[in-house]
C-alpha cells in the first residue's frame, strides 16, 4: 500500500536533520525516484553522503511525527527499511511505499 507525504514535510525533515548543507536541499530530495525493479513507478528518494546523514534524517522524521506533522506515516514499518543504491560518493535511500505529493515545479 502506498502512503503519501507532502514535499514540504520532507524538506522540513531534511532541514531539521542538517543534512547536506553543502548542496541545496532540493538536490538531496528525489521526489520521483524510480529504483531497480520498480518498472517506472516513482517514490521518495533521498541522497546521503553517509549513514550518519541517514540517521539524522530518521531523527528529523521522528521529531516531525512527534509534533503531529506527519499523519499516516507514523508506522515504523513504512520508514524502517529503505532500499539503497550506490551513486559513487553518495547513496540514495528510497522508500518504495512512499509517494511524494505537492512537488514544486522546480524541484
pLDDT digit string, tens, across residues 3-40 = 888 898 888 888 877 776 566 777 889 999 998 888 99
Kindly report the average pLDDT of the chain as a whole number: 83
Q: How far apart are CA 8 and CA 103, in angstroms?
A: 8
* pTM attached to this predicted model: 0.85
pLDDT in tens, 74-86: 666 677 788 999 8
DSSP of the chain: --EEEEHHHHHHHHHHHT--TTS-HHHHEEEEE--TT-TT--EEEEEESSHHHHHHHHHHHHHHHHTT---S---HHHHS--EEEE-SSSEEEEETTEEEES--TT-
Amino acid at each position: 500500500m502506498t502512503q503519501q507525504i507532502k514535499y514540504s514535510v520532507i524538506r522540513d525533515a531534511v532541514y531539521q536533520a542538517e543534512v547536506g548543507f553543502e548542496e541545496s536541499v532540493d538536490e538531496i530530495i528525489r521526489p520521483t525516484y524510480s529504483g531497480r525493479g520498480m518498472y517506472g513507478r516513482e517514490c521518495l528518494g533521498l541522497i546521503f553522503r553517509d549513514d550518519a546523514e541517514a540517521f539524522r534524517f530518521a531523527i528529523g522524521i521522528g521529531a516531525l511525527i512527534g509534533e503531529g506533522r506527519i499523519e499516516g506515516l507514523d508506522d515504523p514499518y513504512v520508514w524502517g527499511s529503505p532500499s539503497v543504491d550506490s551513486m559513487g560518493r553518495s547513496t540514495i535511500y528510497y522508500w518504495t511505499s512512499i509517494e511524494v505529493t505537492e512537488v514544486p515545479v522546480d524541484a
